[in-house]
């Protein structure tokens, strides 16, 4: 009951404490803000690297060439099997005429090389399916399976390139996650030590509170809330910076790096970073102050 | 009120602070503890507020053995003991009002009562006009008065004053002790550890003499210098 009655007092005390120890609070907020900003930037880089890896992997597809001697019932059966295959997410039929047109477009100014093949009878290309899988990593396995289907003349998915791409993106993702983890641990240490220092400088205050008969929790609550406030203020600055900065970077990137896949779009990128950084800042603020205060309460 | 039976205290490094202390202080007593530095005066106070625990013997405060007191029990004990320090030990960055309010809140006093009582307490110690002053900007004497107002804010049954006049001029010293004497007349038990000969001689109250952690004398109306019988 007395706790509930004291809640406004605790909240007021926590803010007063922050302002009373202005410089130290400012230093703590700055450390939290800078550390979390660095972490946020790194999280964004990791998110984008992962996103690009996914985009590139999603481009991987199996090209299934249809045997020109296949009967229409064999072709129908092939389509049915593709429909039923659990791991096939989509497929696209490309007729030999369409394939020729695409080739012409790709050759551009050298398209005249194909003159003479315009006649359907002279077209050397085959009808095909472009098959995509639910998970890009399933491509080699699915390719092996559908190669056995009727009416399939040949399968192509750039075997060596794909496998190298998959292992490269896997290594990159693991490396980024490891670096991000290391940075998060560093941030945790840095923030909790700064808050510890803040509490240590106020040990005399804690001792006096104990002498007048304050219970440990009566002392702890304002400090705990103050830690929360420090964490909260410390996350506001990086979040605002990220919110506006990311837009700028994204704009620049889209206009200067057209050959690259686009960046993770704004609300999602911001939400992902905020979901990690905001709770981290607050929890570290609370834990940092609660853990540090413990040893000064033994009076 | 206080009963010490063969109480001893040794610091963790083995250094002896108190040896075989036997002491009885009744409700309403006014007692000076005198003796050279390191004689054990402050250690007695630390034992009474359970900052330290006797390494031997039994110490009863308010009729209870406090050796097993933990957490909240210690807080409750301290709310019933007002402590005054030589170095005041106030929350320096806060106002006079805040210092007393904090102690009363910690003591579980309702907000309404705090608002009513703090001005009264400040009037008692002559600081009514300084309620909103920051403690750090007050003189030594004024700070000690804040300390006294804080010490009595929860209506404690006992006041422990550790060298309360140590940093004050003779005139203020007498005023402070006078204030404590008046509290004592209203029934509060008062223990004062002091080096202030003038004060002890002036008030002619019970004096307990300590040397090397032992009680070497206890006079009902004593002076600072012990008379050997």
Could you list the pLDDT tens digit for every one of the 229 residues in chain B?
899 999 999 999 988 999 999 999 999 999 999 999 889 999 999 999 999 999 999 999 999 999 989 888 999 999 999 999 888 999 888 899 999 998 898 888 888 999 999 999 999 898 999 999 999 999 998 999 999 999 999 999 999 999 988 878 888 888 888 889 999 999 999 999 998 888 899 888 999 999 999 999 999 988 888 766 5
User: Which of A50-59, A186-195, A239-248, B81-90 has the lowest average pLDDT?
Assistant: A186-195
- When CB atoms are compared, the residue of A20, A205, A212 closest to B78 is A212
The enclosing H or E element of A129 equals strand A128-133
Q: What is the mean pLDDT of residues A250-265?
A: 82
Domain check: are A190 and A141 in the same one?
Answer: no
Q: Do A205 and B91 touch (CB under 8 A)?
A: yes
Is the pLDDT higher at A58 or at B112? B112
Quick one: how far is CA B38 from the chain centroid? 17
Coil, strand, or helix at residue A265? Answer: coil
Position B228 scores a pLDDT of: 60
C-alpha to C-alpha distance for A215 and B100, rounded to whole angstroms: 16
Q: Which of A265-279, A284-298, B19-33, B166-180 has the highest mean pLDDT?
A: B19-33
Q: Do A215 and B75 touch (CB under 8 A)?
A: yes
C-alpha to C-alpha distance for B191 and B31, rounded to whole angstroms: 5
Look at residues A114, A132, A156 and tell me which one is the last residue of a structural domain. A156
Mutation test of the interface with chain A: which of B102, B113, B121, choosing the one with the most A Cβ atoms within 10 A? Answer: B102
Give the domain range for residue A231: 2-56+165-297
- Taking residue B123's Cβ as centre, other Cβ atoms within 10 Å add up to 13
- When CB atoms are compared, the residue of B76, B83, B93 closest to A211 is B83
Domain check: are A122 and A265 in the same one?
Answer: no
Are A151 and A78 in contact by the 8 Å Cβ rule? The answer is yes
Are A285 and A234 in contact by the 8 Å Cβ rule? The answer is yes
Domain check: are A89 and A152 in the same one?
Answer: yes
Domain count, chain A: 2
Sorted by sequence, the CB contacts under 8 Å of residue A265 that are 6+ apart come out as none
Minimum Cα–Cα distance from B72: chain A residue? A215
Domain check: are A109 and A135 in the same one?
Answer: yes
Position B229 scores a pLDDT of: 57
Chain A CB contacts of B89 under 8 Å are 204, 207-208, 211
Chain B CB contacts of A299 under 8 Å are 51
Domain check: are A210 and A94 in the same one?
Answer: no
Q: Do B107 and A205 touch (CB under 8 A)?
A: no
C-alpha to C-alpha distance for B155 and B159, rounded to whole angstroms: 10
Is the pLDDT higher at B142 or at A70? B142
- The ipTM, to two decimals, is 0.85
Chain A CB contacts of B76 under 8 Å are 213
Distance from CA of A20 to the nearest CA of B (A): 7
Mutation test of the interface with chain A: which of B66, B82, B85, B93, choosing the one with the most A Cβ atoms within 10 A? Answer: B93
Q: Do A213 and B154 touch (CB under 8 A)?
A: yes
Q: What is the mean pLDDT of residues A106-130?
A: 78
Domain check: are A46 and A180 in the same one?
Answer: yes
Domain check: are A118 and A181 in the same one?
Answer: no
Q: Do A213 and B103 touch (CB under 8 A)?
A: yes
Are B74 and B37 in contact by the 8 Å Cβ rule? The answer is no
pLDDT in tens, A215-227: 888 888 888 888 8
Provide the number of CB pairs (under 8 Å) joining chain A to chain B: 53
Position B129 scores a pLDDT of: 92
Distance from CA of A215 to the nearest CA of B (A): 6
Position B146 scores a pLDDT of: 95
Report all structural domains of chain B as residue ranges with CATH numbers, in order of start.
Answer: 1-80+157-229 (3.40.50.300), 89-155 (no CATH)
Mutation test of the interface with chain A: which of B66, B103, B161, choosing the one with the most A Cβ atoms within 10 A? Answer: B103
pLDDT tops 60 at residue A1: no
Look at residues A129, A156, A183 and tell me which one is the last residue of a structural domain. A156
Look at residues A122, A156, A190 and tell me which one is the last residue of a structural domain. A156
Cα-based distances in Å from B132 to A83, A175, B222: 81, 58, 41
Q: What is the mean pLDDT of residues A251-261?
A: 82
C-alpha to C-alpha distance for A54 and A264, rounded to whole angstroms: 11
Residue B152, classified by CB atoms within 10 Å of its CB into exposed (0-12), middle (13-18) or buried (19+), is buried
Q: Identify the CATH number of the domain in which residue A118 sits.
A: 3.30.70.3040
Domain check: are A129 and A182 in the same one?
Answer: no
C-alpha to C-alpha distance for B108 and B151, rounded to whole angstroms: 15
Position A5 scores a pLDDT of: 81
Domain check: are A142 and A269 in the same one?
Answer: no
Q: Look at strands B189-194 and A88-94 and give their pairing.
A: unpaired
Q: Do A5 and B111 touch (CB under 8 A)?
A: yes
DSSP state of A138: G
Q: What is the mean pLDDT of residues A111-118?
A: 72
Average pLDDT, chain A: 84
Contacting B with CB below 8 Å, chain A residues are: 2, 5-6, 9, 20-21, 204-205, 207-216, 218, 299
Chain B CB contacts of A20 under 8 Å are 93-94
Contacting A with CB below 8 Å, chain B residues are: 49, 51, 71-72, 75-80, 83, 89-91, 93-94, 102-103, 105-108, 110-111, 150, 154
Chain A CB contacts of B102 under 8 Å are 209, 212, 214
Phi, psi of B37 (to 5 degrees): -60, 140
Are A97 and A121 in contact by the 8 Å Cβ rule? The answer is no
Q: Look at strands A152-156 and A62-66 and give their pairing.
A: antiparallel
Quick one: how far is CA B172 from the chain centroid? 17
C-alpha to C-alpha distance for A91 and A93, rounded to whole angstroms: 7
Token representation of residue A69: 């001697």
Domain check: are A216 and A253 in the same one?
Answer: yes
Domain check: are A243 and A181 in the same one?
Answer: yes
Position B148 scores a pLDDT of: 92
Domain check: are A218 and A274 in the same one?
Answer: yes
Cα-based distances in Å from A250 to A104, A245, A261: 34, 9, 12
* DSSP letter string, chain B: -EEEEEEEEE-TTS-EEEEEEEEEE-TT-EEEEE-STTSSHHHHHHHHTTSS--SEEEEEETTEE-TT--HHHHHHHHHTEEEEETT----TTSBHHHHHHHHHHHTT--HHHHHHHHHHHHHHTT-GGGTTSBGGGS-HHHHHHHHHHHHHTT--SEEEEESTTTTS-HHHHHHHHHHHHHHHHTT-EEEEEE--HHHHHHH--EEEEEETTEEEEEETT--SSPPP-
- When CB atoms are compared, the residue of B78, B89, B110 closest to A213 is B78
Q: What is the mean pLDDT of residues A124-148?
A: 86
- When CB atoms are compared, the residue of B79, B91, B108 closest to A208 is B91
Chain A CB contacts of B91 under 8 Å are 205, 208
pLDDT in tens, A85-104: 888 888 899 988 888 888 88
């Amino acid at each position: 009951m007395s706790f509930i009655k004291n809640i406004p007092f605790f909240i007021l005390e926590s803010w007063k404490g922050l302002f009373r120890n202005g410089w130290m609070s400012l230093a703590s907020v700055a450390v939290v803000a800078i550390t979390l900003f660095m972490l946020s930037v790194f999280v964004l880089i990791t998110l984008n690297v992962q996103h690009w890896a996914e985009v590139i992997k999603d481009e991987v597809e199996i090209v299934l060439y249809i045997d020109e001697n296949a009967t229409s019932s064999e072709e129908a059966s092939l389509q049915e099997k593709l429909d039923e295959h659990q791991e096939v997410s989509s497929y696209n039929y490309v007729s030999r005429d369409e394939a020729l047109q695409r080739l012409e477009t790709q050759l551009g100014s050298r398209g005249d090389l194909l003159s003479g093949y315009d006649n359907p009878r002279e077209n050397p290309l085959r009808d095909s399916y472009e098959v995509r899988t639910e998970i890009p990593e399933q491509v080699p396995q699915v390719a092996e399976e559908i190669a056995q289907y009727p009416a399939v003349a040949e399968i192509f998915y750039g075997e060596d390139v794909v496998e190298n791409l998959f292992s490269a993106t896997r290594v990159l993702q693991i490396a980024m996650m490891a670096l991000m983890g290391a940075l998060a641990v560093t941030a945790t240490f840095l923030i909790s030590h700064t808050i510890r220092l803040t509490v240590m400088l106020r040990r005399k205050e804690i001792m006096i509170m104990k002498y007048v008969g304050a219970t440990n929790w009566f002392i702890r609550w304002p400090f705990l809330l103050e830690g929360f406030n420090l964490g909260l203020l410390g996350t506001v600055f990086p979040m605002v910076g990220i919110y506006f900065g990311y837009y700028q970077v994204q704009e620049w990137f889209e206009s200067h790096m057209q050959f690259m896949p686009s960046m993770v779009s704004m609300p999602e990128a911001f939400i992902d970073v905020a979901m990690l950084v905001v709770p981290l800042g607050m929890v570290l603020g609370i834990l940092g102050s609660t853990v540090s205060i413990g040893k000064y309460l033994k009076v | 009120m206080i009963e010490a039976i063969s109480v001893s205290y040794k610091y963790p490094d083995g250094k002896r602070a108190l040896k075989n202390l036997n002491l009885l202080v009744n409700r309403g007593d006014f007692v000076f503890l005198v003796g050279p530095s390191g004689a054990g005066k402050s250690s007695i106070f630390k034992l009474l507020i359970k900052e330290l625990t006797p390494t031997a013997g039994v110490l009863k405060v308010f009729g209870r053995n406090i050796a097993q007191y933990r957490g909240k029990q210690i807080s409750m004990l301290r709310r019933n003991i007002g402590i005054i320090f030589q170095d005041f030990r106030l929350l320096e960055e806060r106002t006079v009002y805040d210092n007393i309010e904090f102690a009363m809140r910690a003591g579980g006093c309702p907000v309404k009562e705090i608002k009513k009582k703090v001005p009264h307490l400040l009037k008692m110690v002559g600081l009514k006009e300084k309620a909103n002053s920051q403690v750090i900007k007050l003189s030594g004497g004024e700070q000690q008065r804040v300390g006294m107002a804080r010490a009595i804010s929860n209506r404690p049954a006992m006041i422990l004053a550790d060298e309360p006049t140590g940093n004050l001029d003779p005139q203020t010293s007498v005023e402070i002790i006078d204030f404590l004497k008046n509290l004592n007349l209203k029934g509060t038990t008062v223990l004062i550890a002091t080096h202030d000969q003038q004060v002890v001689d002036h008030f002619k109250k019970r004096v307990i003499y300590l040397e090397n952690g032992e009680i070497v004398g206890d006079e009902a109306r004593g002076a600072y210098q012990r008379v050997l019988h």
